[in-house]
Amino acid sequence: MEYNFTNGEESSDMCTVKGENTKREKWGRKLDYRLTILGYLVGFGNIWRFPYICMKNGGGAFLIPYVLTLFLMVIPVYFLEVSLGQFSGKSFKDVWSYCPLVKGMGVGLQVMLVPCLCYYIMLMTWVMNYMYHTFYNPLTWSTCGNEWNTPYCFSFTGNTGQQLMANTSTLYSLNKTGHDLYNFASNQEGNTSDRNLVHDQFMSRINSSLTNVTLRATKGHSAEEEFWQYKVLDISSGLDVIGSLNGHLVLCLVLAWIVVYVCVIKGIKSTGKVVYVTATLPYLLLTILLVHNLTLPGSLDGIVFFIKPDFRSLMNIQVWLEAAIQVFYSVSIGWGLHITLASYSKFDNNCLRDTFIMTLAGEGTSVFGGFVIFSALGFMAHEANVPLTEVVKSGPGLGFVAYPMALAQMPLPNLWAALFFIAMITLGLDSQFTITEITYVYFEDCFPFMKKKQMISRACLSMIGIVLSLPFCTQAGVYLFQLFDWYLAAFSPLFFTLIECTSVAWLFGAERFSRDVEIMIGRRVPGYFKFCWSFLSPLILFVLMVTSLVSYDLPTYGDYVYPSWAADAGLVLSVVPIVPCLVIAFWVVYYSPGRTFYQKLRDSVRPTEDWQPADDDVEYLALSWENTGTCTQRILVNLGLMKQPDVL
């Protein structure tokens, strides 16, 4: 790397840097990048979680805090992440050269991604299992009388009259047997008290049987719920009862990993082509499902129920917190993924325009998915003649119980079930292979020899991934899945995003970074973006972190109560990704030049020579880093109300 220091009074604090960046492959077309981002942003949460959260928190009124949070926190931070990656051309492993103190975030993000990679693929595994059963007629999950069903199973698609007749026949048989035996006992020799004792005993048995028959009618489980619990999961009694591996899940898991491996086998060259199918097909299939659902009775009632605004809910602070948390996790900031994906973009790509296109398209899909889901649930509620609130579920309960139940009651149920689960497979596949690609890139950046033998190294990593995912295929796998899902992303992404905003806005300098962005796209960062990075976004993130810590509940799965040791393990899981950040920060400060702690700390936040444009043809004026001026002056500079003298 060559440094040419310029002379002159005006530019005495600058030096021209002509970098020799390691050549990094680029997206073949801009559409490759956009579809990859869109496919990643639109996942299971948009279809399974957002509609339920929106309905529960005021319907259409929920969109007000949701959109406000989107524009005041998420979009500015999203732009910050993609700008870091595109300007430097580096993944989240090495992008922190603008502030060495926070470079431990690269390790922390990878520590968070690896377990996420192994448990998230279970959603695809379960969906593939359901996809297999769509070829059975009638749909396997819609009937009782299978080997996994309990005596309390009931089915909306079955003949309810026959079930009631069976119960009545059972009760009649029990009564007849009781009276016959009583008459037999009465004809035998013996005193009256013995005969009365026999009568009381048999009547007690009959009453007990009557209670059991009543429980079947009033306390039963739907066929869809029993299929999910006892067939797909083969669920155990709790987390401490691991049980055996479920062979059908292991087979689907291996198949899912093979599909993911094929998608990432050649890095972005393969993923950039796969997304033309996986990112667009869900929209086509969901549109077909929505058009069909709207022809069914009760579907419009479901949509009205979904979007009907309850403006009184806006007075509840919990609704605003739910909106902020949902949109934060929906756009997936704080995971480092957008940094790495943007590092493959051309240096002059208009990432500001892409920011608005991608985030609005991704969150718009959440609302669209809500129409698809609630139109079907409205039909199901109409058919069952029950309030819609009784059939609405969130998460896997919606995708694997409530919606399959609605599909089973539609005309041509196999067709619509197949279309739905194909859409779900493509939704999950986009997110899964994007996480996989980013995780593999980190290892390849650490060990360059893996890049030279990419197909082999990625095959080995995928096989390790299969092994690490096997615990989720056991009978206690769903309890383990819920534990990881509950704790892994509870705290760390918020912490990482807060550090990103603070380090760029206050340690590197929001105005200085705005100058770097101008080199890329020909314009500086909008003023309100800098205001959000410096003040509003950190404030919202801090509130969310505190709220998460104070009001965080223990994980739940149905009526199962997790043991205390599981909660302790979950807390450890949630803070483990943060540990490398703190350890490496201490290491950086300790080995920084300087005689006093302040001198060491000051040097540890100074940008290194590696912070430079990804384009070698761009002449970069590397500004000397000095935190001069009062606190008030620095605030005014970050607000754009005062010009920073050393920025051109």
Alpha-carbon gap, residue 49 to 392, rounded angstroms: 11
The 10s digit of each residue's pLDDT in 450-505 is 988 999 999 999 999 999 999 999 999 999 999 998 888 888 999 999 999 999 99
DSSP 8-state code for residue 579: H
Identify whether 320 is part of a domain: yes
Q: Which residues are annotated as a binding site for Na(+)?
A: 39, 42, 46, 330, 427, 430-431
Residues 458 and 485 in one domain: yes
Residues 6+ apart with CB under 8 A from 227: 140, 141, 146, 148, 404
Q: Report the alpha-carbon angle 460-275-75, nearest 5.
A: 105
Percent of the chain with pLDDT over 70: 82
Residues 330 and 202 in one domain: no
Q: What is the mean pLDDT of residues 266-271?
A: 86
Residues 167 and 296 in one domain: no
Residues 364 and 281 in one domain: yes
What confidence tier does 616 reach under pLDDT thresholds 50, 70, 90? confident
Identify whether 255 is part of a domain: yes
And the tokens for 64?
């007000």
Query: Average pLDDT of the chain?
Result: 82
**Can you give the pLDDT at residue 471?**
96
Q: pTM for this structure?
A: 0.84
The 10s digit of each residue's pLDDT in 38-86 is 999 988 888 888 888 888 888 888 889 999 999 989 999 999 999 999 9
Residues 447 and 300 in one domain: yes
CATH of the domain at 48: 1.20.1740.10
Identify whether 373 is part of a domain: yes
Judged against a pLDDT cut of 90, whether residue 509 lies above it is answered with no
Across 183-187, 278-282, 327-331, 422-426, least confident range: 183-187
DSSP 8-state code for residue 645: T
Amino acid at 129: N
What confidence tier does 633 reach under pLDDT thresholds 50, 70, 90? low
Query: What's the number of domains the chain is made of?
Result: 2
Residues 543 and 475 in one domain: yes
Residues 417 and 535 in one domain: yes
Are residues 29 and 269 in contact, defined by beta-carbon separation less than 8 angstroms?
Answer: no
Q: Which residues are annotated as a binding site?
A: 39, 42, 46, 330, 427, 430-431
Residues written for the chain = 648
Q: What is the mean pLDDT of residues 371-379?
A: 88
Alpha-carbon gap, residue 475 to 464, rounded angstroms: 21
Across 154-163, 241-250, 524-533, least confident range: 154-163
Residues 485 and 625 in one domain: yes
Are residues 429 and 260 in contact, defined by beta-carbon separation less than 8 angstroms?
Answer: yes
Domain range enclosing 213: 159-187+194-221
